[in-house]
Amino acid sequence: MKTVIIRNSTLQFTVGKIVCVGRNYAEHAKELGNEIPEKPVLFLKPSSAIIYSGAKIIYPAFSKDMHHEIELVLLIGKTVKNASITEAEDAITGYGVGLDMTLRDIQNDLKKKGHPWTIAKCFDNSAVVSDFVLKSDYKLSLDEEISLSVNGLVRQKEKLNRMLFHPAEIVEYISSLMTLEEGDLVFTGTPAGVGKVQVGDRLAGEIQNIGKLETAVN
């Protein structure tokens, strides 16, 4: 089982499911040739996909086009179903930084066939996470900047307030479709600037006041 580590706390959460939002920044939807969605686009990752900041991503043998997607990650702290917007906000207990590693060649092929994105999104090491900050220790304003650099060069940089669907709206929507439970994670989508990584690349992600993560591709 994978756990989430909380900064400045002995609290630990066992990760349940990981719900991910696609196309949550307009410029990113456009860069991949997608329409801007009317509702959040959702997919899942297994908890077995998690690695922690400092560990390396193993390039899967079945892809030649692995992309980085830096994202704000929500930690769910209580069970919610059919939540109101207030209950949804209340169910978010912490924030972290995550990388939704994506096999773009596989995903494009799956999209063409109308198949689920599973094998493009669920491989081992495909969810890199930082430690988390509790909401009780930091109030998110959405003015925070999210960024990712590869080998020291900035590839993605945006304000969180450019998200099409904000954290509580995402949780409200997910909870109308499935129960969210303590320890579930929600990846909230990536800003524009996604791109290919190569073996040997060093990736550094950050969200102002939330945290940092580092990894390398092996």
69 binding Mg ion? (CB under 5 A): yes
We find the least distance from the C-beta atom of residue 190 to Mg ion, in angstroms, to be 5
63 binding Mg ion? (CB under 5 A): no
156 binding Mg ion? (CB under 5 A): no
Closer to Mg ion at the Cβ: 147 or 190? Answer: 190
Q: Which stretch binds Mg ion (CB under 5 A): 49-57, 108-116, 118-126, 187-195?
A: 187-195
What pairs with residue 73 in β-bridges? 96, 187
Determine which residue in the list 25, 190, 205, 206 makes contact with Mg ion, applying CB under 5 A: 190
C-beta of residue 180 within 8 angstroms of C-beta of residue 91: yes
Determine which residue in the list 100, 131, 158, 172 makes contact with Mg ion, applying CB under 5 A: 100
C-alpha atoms less than 13 angstroms from C-alpha of 107 in its C-beta half-sphere: 15
Give the x-and-dash track for 106-125 against Mg ion (CB under 5 A).
Answer: --------------------
What pairs with residue 200 in β-bridges? none
Closer to Mg ion at the Cβ: 100 or 158? Answer: 100
We find the least distance from the C-beta atom of residue 49 to Mg ion, in angstroms, to be 12
Main-chain dihedrals φ then ψ at residue 54, nearest 5 degrees: 105, -25
Strands in 101-207 per DSSP E: 102-103, 127-129, 133-134, 145-150, 153-159, 185-187, 195-196, 202-207
C-beta of residue 217 within 8 angstroms of C-beta of residue 65: no
We find the least distance from the C-beta atom of residue 32 to Mg ion, in angstroms, to be 10
b vs e for 138-148, b when ≥16 Cβ sit within 10 Å of the residue's Cβ? eebeeebebbb
Residue nearest to Mg ion (CB): 100
Closer to Mg ion at the Cβ: 100 or 206? Answer: 100
> Which amino acid, one-letter code, is at 165?
F
CA dist., res. 73 & res. 178, Å (int): 18
| Residues near Mg ion, by CB under 5 A | 69, 100, 190
